């Protein structure tokens, strides 16, 4: 099997697990085992970005995909911070953090690329 086919299967498994978990949470809410008012969904939607980011990191693969996962998870945390006004942050005051997150993602991708290139050199 090609590397691309293996990566596609891995993504399928990760997304499948994500959907099973999300569906399980909704099911627990519907049967009353988990009490989350519907109005709270508006407050908790950034968790989806965090979970998707973590699944991308867990899927591994290319260093760029891992860095994108970190960036997506941080974006979810940013939305939580803005919606909850952590440290007095609002969308108007907190937008520079988006630039920081983007820059961090780019630096992380470059560092991970460098590590994987050195790792390949040592194998050869």
- Which residues constitute the domain of residue 101? 3-123
pLDDT of residue 5: 62
pLDDT value of residue 104: 95
> In the chain, what is the straight-line distance between the N-terminal and C-terminal CA atoms, in Å?
22
Least confident of 35-39, 40-44, 91-95: 35-39
**How many other C-beta atoms are found inside a 10 Å radius of the C-beta of residue 70?**
19
pLDDT in tens, 58-90: 877 788 889 999 999 999 999 999 988 999 999
Mean pLDDT over 17-29 rounds to 79
Long-range contacts of 41-44 (CB under 8 A, 24+ apart): 43/83, 43/84
**Residue 87's Cα: distance from chain center in Å?**
23
pLDDT category, 7, cuts 50, 70, 90?
A: low
Which of 96 and 21 is assigned the larger pLDDT?
96
- pLDDT at res. 61: 75
Do residues 58 and 21 touch, judged by C-beta distance below 8 A?
Answer: no
What is the domain count for the chain? Answer: 1
pLDDT for the residue numbered 96: 95
């Amino acid at each position: 099997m090609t590397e691309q086919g293996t990566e596609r299967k891995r993504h399928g498994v990760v997304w499948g697990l994500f959907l099973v978990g999300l569906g399980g949470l909704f099911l627990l809410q519907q049967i009353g085992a988990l009490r989350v008012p519907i109005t709270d969904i508006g407050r908790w939607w950034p968790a989806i970005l965090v979970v998707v980011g973590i699944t991308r990191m867990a899927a591994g693969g290319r260093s760029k995909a891992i860095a994108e996962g970190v960036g997506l998870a941080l974006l979810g945390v940013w939305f939580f911070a803005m919606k909850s006004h952590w440290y007095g942050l609002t969308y108007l005051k907190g937008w520079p953090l988006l630039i920081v997150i983007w820059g961090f993602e780019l630096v992380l991708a470059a560092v991970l690329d460098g590590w994987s290139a050195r790792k390949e050199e040592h194998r050869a």
